[in-house]
Amino acid sequence: MLEGVEKVYPDGTQAVADLHLSIGDGEFIVLVGPSGCGKTTALRMVAGLEEISGGQVRIGDRVVNGVPPKDRDIAMVFQNYALYPHLSVRENMGFGLKLRKVPAAEIDKRVEEAGRILGLEDLLDRKPRNLSGGQRQRVAMGRAIVREPQAFLMDEPLSNLDAKLRVQMRAEIARIQRDLDVTTLYVTHDQTEAMTMGDRVAVMRKGLLQQVDAPQVLYDRPDNVFVAGFIGSPAMNMVQASIETSNGATFVCLGDQRLRIADELLAARPALAAYEGRKVVLGIRPEEMEDAACAGENPDDRRLRATVDLVEQMGSEAYVHFSLKAPPVLTDDTRELASDVGLDDQLERRGEKATTAMVARVSPRTRAAKGDSIDLVVDTGRLHFFDIDSSLAVWGDPDRAATTTTTKT
C-alpha cells in the first residue's frame, strides 16, 4: 500500500512523484516502465533500502516509513541475485531464518521444502559460484520463499537470464507466487513479463504512475499515448490524423487516405464527436491490420495503401514494416517510447518527411515484398484515439478521464 509516495534525491532529481498504489492480499502487481522511470526506486522504498521523501508506505496496517528493512517482514529478490558468496545454497536460504533464531530443525525443513519446490535438492551444499545463472536465480527465489514473508519484492529478477530460461522462470515464478499466495510487487522493464505475470500491471513513466489495470484492460483501453505505445509488441502504431464526417459516417483521415470508423467504436467513444475537424493521435495495433490479399472481402473504406519497407517472416506470422504518408506524432511520449527502443533519431527524420513508420502483423502467406505497394485492411472497430495535446485517450467517459488527469501533472 503506497500513499502519495515520493522520492527526491539530494540533487533535486525527483525519481518518484505522488505514487498511489494499493496492493491487495496475495496479489501479483507488476511495476513496469522504461529504464529510469522510478520503478526500482519505488520498490526499494517499499523494501526500506531507500529513504522516503514524502507520503506513506504501509504494509498491512503498519506505516513502515521509518522502519528498517529488517523489521518490515518482506523478502526481496535482486536483479543480480545478491547471494552470499561465502555461504552454501542451504545457508543462503536459511540465512534470514537463522537471524530470526528459528530452530535449526525448522530451518532445515523449510529449506528442503523450498529446495524441492525449486528443484534445487541436489545443489543445497554448493557455493553460489558453482551454480549457473538460472540456478542462482532459483536460490534467490528460495531465499525469499523460506522466509514466508508478508510480501515478495522482485527487482527485475529475470533480466540476467538468457531468453529461453527467462520464459521458463517467468512461468515458474508466477506458479510459485500463485501456490504460496504471497503479495508480490514485481519490477520489470519487459512488458511481456508484465503482461504474462501480473494480476495487475502498473505502468510508470518518469516517476509518475500512468495506469494501473489488469493486463488485458491495459491493452484494450490504454489511458494515454504512453501506455498504449508501451504495452504490446510490436508497439502500437501512432500517427497524426483528423476526424471528418460526411454522409452520416465518421472518418479518420491519415494524410490523403481515410478510414471509416466503425459505428460501435463511435458508440464506445462518444467524446470523439467533439474532435470533428481536429487533429488527433490515431493508434492502430499491428495485429489489427491484415494484408488485403490474404483477407476476405473488405470494403474500400477500411483500407490503407502504403509502401513496404521490410517484411519479417516469423513463420506463424509476418511483420510488414511500411511507410505511411502521414505525419508522425512528435510528443514527449512518443519520443520517449522511441528512445526506449533506440529509434529516437529515426522518429525525428520521419517527422521532417511527414511519413510515419508503421508495422502490421499479417498472415505469413503475404506476398508483399520490399518496395511493393500494399493494401492493408484495418479493423476499424479497434482503433485508438488520443488527444494530441494531453496525450489522453479519447473516450467520453468523464469519470475515467478525470482519474487519468490526476496522474498526469
Residues that bind other proteins (CB under 8 A): 47-49, 68-72, 74-76, 78-80, 82-86, 95-96, 99-100, 143, 147, 153
Phi, psi torsion values for 121, nearest 5 degrees: -50, -40
138 vs 350, beta carbon nearer other proteins: 138
155 vs 333, beta carbon nearer other proteins: 155
Least distance in Å: CB of 50 to other proteins? 10
Yes or no: say if 29 and 211 are a contact pair by the CB < 8 Å rule: no
Least distance in Å: CB of 69 to other proteins? 4
Least distance in Å: CB of 187 to other proteins? 14
Residue type, 158: L
Strands 74-77 and 151-155: parallel
Least distance in Å: CB of 369 to other proteins? 49
Least distance in Å: CB of 139 to other proteins? 11
101 vs 365, beta carbon nearer other proteins: 101
> Which helix (H) or strand (E) is 176 found in, with range?
helix 163-180
98 vs 349, beta carbon nearer other proteins: 98
> Which helix (H) or strand (E) is 374 found in, with range?
strand 373-378
**Interior/surface letters 173-182, b for 16+ CB within 10 angstroms, e for the rest:** bbebbeeeeb
135 vs 391, beta carbon nearer other proteins: 135
60 vs 364, beta carbon nearer other proteins: 60
4 vs 60, beta carbon nearer other proteins: 60
143 vs 269, beta carbon nearer other proteins: 143
Q: Which three cell numbers stand for residue 46?
A: 517499499
CA gap 260, 146 in Å, rounded:
57
Least distance in Å: CB of 86 to other proteins? 5
Least distance in Å: CB of 81 to other proteins? 8
CA gap 44, 307 in Å, rounded:
47
- The shares of helix, strand and coil residues in the chain, as percent rounded to the nearest 5, are 35, 30, 35
| 144 C-beta neighbours (distance < 10 Å), count | 27
Least distance in Å: CB of 11 to other proteins? 14
CA gap 299, 22 in Å, rounded:
47
Contacts of 64 (CB under 8 A, 6+ apart): 48, 57, 58, 72
Cis peptide before 234 (omega within 30 of 0): yes
153 vs 158, beta carbon nearer other proteins: 153
Least distance in Å: CB of 97 to other proteins? 9
Yes or no: say if 385 and 391 are a contact pair by the CB < 8 Å rule: no
Yes or no: say if 324 and 253 are a contact pair by the CB < 8 Å rule: no
111 vs 289, beta carbon nearer other proteins: 111
Q: Name the CA radius of gyration of the chain, rounded.
A: 24
Which residues lie across from 8 on neighbouring strands?
Answer: 14
Q: Look up residue 59 and give its DSSP letter.
A: E
Least distance in Å: CB of 407 to other proteins? 29
| 88 C-beta neighbours (distance < 10 Å), count | 17
> In angstroms, how far is CA 123 from the centroid of its own chain?
34
CA gap 29, 36 in Å, rounded:
19
